[in-house]
Structure 1
Amino acid sequence: MITLVYPDQSPKIQFAISKLKKTLTELDQIWTVALKQDVDTHNIIVKNRKGHTRNGVSVEPSLSSEGFQIRHSVLEGKSTFYILSGDDSGAMYGIFELCEQLQNRGLSNICECTMNPRFSFRALKFNLPWSSYRKNHSFDIQKETVRDLTFWRSYLDMMAENRFNVLTLWSMHPFPYMIKPKNFPKATPYTDEELADWKHFWTSLFQMAKDRGIETYLVTWNIFVSESFREHYDPNSISDEEFYHHGDGYSTDPIKQYNRECVTQLINEYPDLTGLSTSLGERMNGLSPKERQKWIEDVYYQGMKDANRPVKYIYRAPFTIDPSITREAIEKNDFLPEPVWLELKFNWSHAYSTPKLRITHGGRSDKLTEYWNPDPKNYKVAWMARNEDFFTLRWAQPDFIREHIKENGHDYVGGYFIGSECFIPAYDYSHSRESDHFQWSYAFEKHWLYYMLWGRLLFDPSTPDEVFAQELGRRYGQSNGRPLLEAYSAVSKMPLALASSFLTLWDFTLYAEGFLSTDTSGYNSGKAFISLEDLLNTKPIESTYLSIRDYVNRKMNQESTEGWVTPIQLAETLEKDSQHSLELLASIADHDSPVLCCEKADIKAWAYLGFYFADKLRAGVCYQMYLETGDESERQKALQWLESPHAIKHWDDLIEVTSSHYVEQPLMHLGNTPFSWKLFRPQVLGDIDFVRGEKKEASQNQ
């Protein structure tokens, strides 16, 4: 009999204890709860305060907020495990750690440990499907699911268990869905009954998050109003349909008053909402950086000051870089709780490229370091690690995340945002619901390993691969855990390699799992595919990579390529990783598990993409040599790399493995054109036609 002792007044601890009880039951352990919480002679004791226990077990002074310790004591033959922490969140995480160790090791092999969070800000970015910044069927299809509190309960459970502690909800103008402004009541189009339903939704969501140690922030853009406000209070203003999120900086005194009062009323009516954020870009064309900042101060800052309680703030760095104005705006404030979080997009919206900071929103700038040199006084940088590269295929590359954190986790950094602008991980519209693979309720559950990797490593980057391998093993057989993780780690380098090799700027201009780029090709699905010609014309985002043209020029001039990653070296690495992953998969038995078959199919898809990219790089080098030398044999070699059994076969293999369980799906990058890998087979063949033809535009662009 295992006796549990814990503070029962804490929702966070109660939530974690419910998981512990479930874990013990699954392990056939009989448990009970002790009523006397001051007795230190039970089996598992949770103490959410610092100090000594009667058995001499003490909390180390190094324990920080959200940190925890697991300690073991044996007194008079009775074994007791202590979960010690300085706050309820730390106790919750400590209980989760104990559950994991129980599942992997059993009660007799629990290891003592002390863990403190590496970052205090570990956020998920979640774009809402109403008043959404982007418009696409992929958002419209999510409205019912995202309004369902059952979905949010599962999502928040996942966040807490993976140690995420911030939920950021992004919407252009959420106020009409949340409040009826007292001085602008007609700005909200809902009846009192409808608005009451919305208020129940928001209140429940914020409360559930708080009970799991998760802060909530609403992130807006700026000079927007509701359609109802425009109709009743400003009929002459520009419409959202006319400009959507771009447009001149149109503002009036009523617009400023309306937005300011919305901020105040929102804070007052939702006491469990943690904070706010807004952007200094949309609907501000024609305004100087100082004018944009003044609008934010007059509306958002003043609205927060007028509220009946302080709230935290995320300052989104302006799209045009001017660190001096940004720093002054943050550091002169005397009312925002510290630290203020300064959000900066890592490598614009292409965090899944190189872990080195090469570019941010607004372009490359030597002034970027002014954000942290000298050290910030009252703010911390929070990197926005956007994923617009893979929504369908599962991805897992723990070493990349660790390297990212090591490279960018400076003292002035407080944490990360993880998430997407173009993908809502709720209703899963990509997978065939007729397939026996489909055994989850929501898209984020299919991508469970992605969230586990980021959340656990942001909390503790030293978390070993064994933790993730054991979880894979618990789901799919212990002997399969390590090879599955190793296979994922190998093939998940493919999108990183493509994004590092192919320079793109704007938000959703690269979709690595589809081998697509809309940066220069626009929305036309026939042109979005990254062609061989596109590879010849691009430059890498990673400065240690050589483009195809630069590599060929060095070869022609007999210049050294030492210290560079050449296209040929990259191709060899991609091929090696893909081959290694397929060999690992061959050793993994399915054990009649449809979901394991689905995981293996995703790994195969990444492997075929890796093979395809490798052959295309080699073809590009050969074709560029042909353009430089006129040597017909080089063109023939390029054709050989593009034809079967090379590039075209690998794309056909990709079509076959993805068609077995995925359906055509909406994709922001393609507008109204549904995405599938089969859709782009003509463009794969088009590379062959391009090489067979004349030099065309490729030679003219040199």
Structure 2
Amino acid sequence: MAVAVSLNVTAQSIQIRLEKHPSNREQFAAEYLQKKLSKLGYIVGKRGKYKIYLAQAKDTTGLKKEGFTIISKENKIKVTGNDGSGVIYACNEIAERVYRQGNLKFPAQIKDAPEMVLRGSCVGLQKTTYLPGHGVYEYPYTPQNFPWFYDKAQWIKYLDMMVDNRMNSLYLWNGHPFASLVRLKDYPFAVEVDSATFKKNEEMFSFLTKEADRRGIFVIQMFYNIIVSKPFADHYGIQTQDRHRPITPLISDYTRKSIAAFIKKYPNVGLLVCLGEAIDTYDDDVEWFTKTIIPGVKDGLKALGRTDEPPILLRAHDTDCEMVMKAALPLYHNLYTMHKYNGESLTTYQPRGPWSQMHRDLAALGTTHIENVHVLANLEPWRWSSPDFIQKAVQAMHNIHHANALHLYPQASYWDWPYTADKLPNGGREYQLDRDWMWYKAWARYAWDCHRDRKDEIKYWNKVLSDYYGLKDTLNISNGRNGILAAYEESGEIAPKLLRRFGITEGNRQTLLLGMKISQLVNPYKYTIYPGFYESCGPEGEKLIEYVEKEWKHQPHVGELPLDIVNQTEAHGDRSVA
């Protein structure tokens, strides 16, 4: 017995059939495919010229998670997902192929599965200014702070974007989210929002996690440590955060119970833990992670009677991640590590040096290591989406860093989500999803498969860009790319090259496109070059001050040189507008 998704019938009609008692993800897959095919001009009905059968594999032995098989014979298409997410991604594959080729004539068999196990993007519940009486990262979930958080239609648009791009993890960044989402019996005064807002937050977070789950997306809540809520801090006469404060039984108990209540209340959520910036020593990091955070998660699971382990992700930022992980792995198995790809900018697809070694060391622990494409200080505020650069960067994540997962920041304006810096003709502000759609599409595409043939990719992006902008697919003389693709890829080399050869840091204290002072350019040491920056964030080469000194002393040069980068970036700029 099967269930049909029904509409009217025409000569170009399609029937989508589900097995009896389909899962939530299978049901979503059918709805998703119906919507996509309808938009492409087909009509989905109870009977049709084509029949598409959706099911999950009965025996998953040896099958890769989220993979799928599509078997086509005449007018029958059978989809078998390795799991519910695999069914969704198979439907995405069908819709993509129909879009590209204009029909349902597929090869006899199509098999695919993702290379990266986590492919996700983040949204910051952060602001560009501090709240009165609060420290950095401390922003309660309220309609005043984040009106967009309560916009269900906007969340559905975001989640559907993730499905279109086969992304499976959504990260929410905040300093201390628990006091906006759970109420503790022992610390009822710790809640940071009023009762009406608390109720809204419960409803919204439940809505978000439910809608994400049916799309195969795991919501992962990020938080910094050690931060407590302002009402809690005021009650006990302490600071919300203090880097030099020792761990106390009171603060540990409050945080442990907050995490347990969160896990109990929102079972489809994981945690991303930052042990940096508000905790004192590496030994404190180990103690806090193993004696407060992990026990809190276990307490929540025990209350639910669960024996599985939701994911806990540990950032390498401002901690000895390897030291913490070695202490934690005997206690909890579903752990991941995360580290910034090029720091807080995007500088190269040839990473090397001590920072790359840190990635490899974390990957060698035996857990999945995640690449964090973080902040992008050198790309702001302009749009940037170079498929060629991104594909090579993802290849480097695999081959050089030994990572197998992606965490993606917005391309610009992380602190001002959901808006870009752009103004629309009507005076409104442009949404990031509307402006930077290609940023998400490209990173997700290569997180799924970074080994796609370059010639095929040029054809793919030519069509995507031509269709998006309503242009004829007029080719540029530059390697068969149309003008828009050439502009993205040529201009996409400029900011990375300039920063890695002339900058003082990859960090967000230098927003490159705001410019540099002459003294920064000629004597970067005066402004403290960030340790490891030049050794890690680009090919071997010389700073401008080193180049001039060698020229003066008639010494041989090594690697990538400043004047070469000047010439290259000028050439990239010329080709981008050719």
| Corresponding letter in the other structure for 2:463 | Q
Partner residue of 2:161? 158
> For residues 564-583 of structure 1, what are the structure 2 equivalents within 5 Å?
564-583=559-578
Question: Does residue 175 of the first structure (1) align with residue 178 of the second (2)?
Answer: yes
Secondary structure of the residue aligned to 2:409 is strand
Q: Between 397-406 and 447-456, report the one with greater CA deviation.
A: 397-406
**Contact 1:19–1:99 (CA<8 Å) still a contact in 2?**
no
Conserved? CA contact 1:66–1:89, under 8 Å: yes
Amino acid at match of 2:73: S
Identity %: 20
Correspondence for 1:536: 522
Distance 1:368 1:294 in 2: 23
- Deviation, 1:193, is 3.5
Match of 2:22 in 1: 9
Of 262, 265, 269, which aligns to 1:266? 262
Q: 1:490 to 1:107 in 2, by over 3 A?
A: same
Please name the residue that 1:43 is paired with. Answer: 51
Q: Does 1:80 align with 2:73?
A: no
Q: Secondary structure at the match of 1:431?
A: strand
* Aligned residue number for residue 129 of structure 1: 126
Matched, 1:346 2:341: yes
Matching residue of 2:422: 431
CA distance in 2, matches of 1:580, 1:367: 37
Q: Partners of 2:451 and 2:253 in 1: how far apart?
A: 49
Q: Offset of 1:429 from its aligned partner? A: 5.2
TM-score, normalising length: structure 2:
0.83
Aligned residues: 526
Q: Structure 1 CA distance, aligned partners of 2:184 and 2:138?
A: 26
1:419 paired with 2:414, answer no
For the residues of structure 1 that align with 2:34 and 2:545, how far apart are their CA atoms? 61
Question: 1:188: how far off?
Answer: 0.9
CA distance in 2 between partners of 1:424 and 1:208 (Å): 25
Q: Pick the aligned partner of 2:38 from 25, 36, 39.
A: 25
User: Which structure 2 residues correspond to residues 599-618 of structure 1 after superposition, within 5 A?
Assistant: none
Indicate yes or no: 2:363 matched with 1:396.
no
Residues 329 and 317 from structure 1, CA distance in 2 versus in 1: closer, same or farther, beyond 3 angstroms?
Answer: farther
Shift of 1:572: 1.8
Judged with a 3 Å threshold, the aligned counterparts in structure 2 of structure 1 residues 367 and 268 are, in CA distance, closer, same or farther, namely closer
CA distance, structure 2, for counterparts of residue 331 and residue 429 of structure 1:
40
TM-score normalised by length of structure 1: 0.69
- Quote the offset at 1:109 in angstroms: 4.6
More strand by share: 2
Counting only pairs closer than 5 Å after superposition, residues 241-640 of structure 1 correspond to structure 2 as: 247-273=243-269, 275-285=270-280, 288-308=281-301, 309=306, 310-317=309-316, 319-321=318-320, 323=322, 325-333=323-331, 335-337=332-334, 340-358=335-353, 360=355, 370-372=361-363, 375-377=364-366, 379-386=367-374, 387-410=376-399, 412-419=402-409, 423-424=414-415, 426-428=417-419, 430-435=421-426, 442-463=431-452, 464-476=457-469, 477-479=471-473, 482-505=482-505, 507-512=507-512, 515-516=513-514, 529-538=515-524, 540=534, 541-561=537-557, 564-583=559-578
Give, as a single letter, the amino acid of the residue that structure 2 aligns with 1:91.
V
* Corresponding residue number in structure 2 for 1:120: 117
Contact residue 5 and residue 34 of structure 1 kept, 8 A:
no
- The one-letter code matched in structure 1 to 2:408 is I
Asked if the contact 1:397/1:489 (under 8 Å) is kept, the reply is: yes
* CA separation of 1:543 and 1:31: change in aligned 2, threshold 3 A: closer
Of 126-135 and 62-71, deviating more is: 126-135
Matched letter for residue 417 of structure 1 = H
Instruction: Check 1:501–1:470 CA distance in 2 against 1; reply closer, same or farther (3 A cut).
Output: same
Q: Larger Cα Rg: Structure 1 or Structure 2?
A: 1
In the TM superposition, residue 303 of structure 1 has moved relative to its aligned partner by 0.8
**Secondary structure of residue in 2 paired with 1:550:** helix
Counterpart residue identity of residue 531, structure 1: K
Distance in 2, Cα, partners of 1:127 & 1:47: 36
CA distance in 2 between counterparts of 1:134 and 1:502 reads 31
Give unmatched runs, 5+ long, in structure 2. 1-12, 128-133, 475-480
Measure, in 2, the Cα distance between the counterparts of 1:557 and 1:506. 30
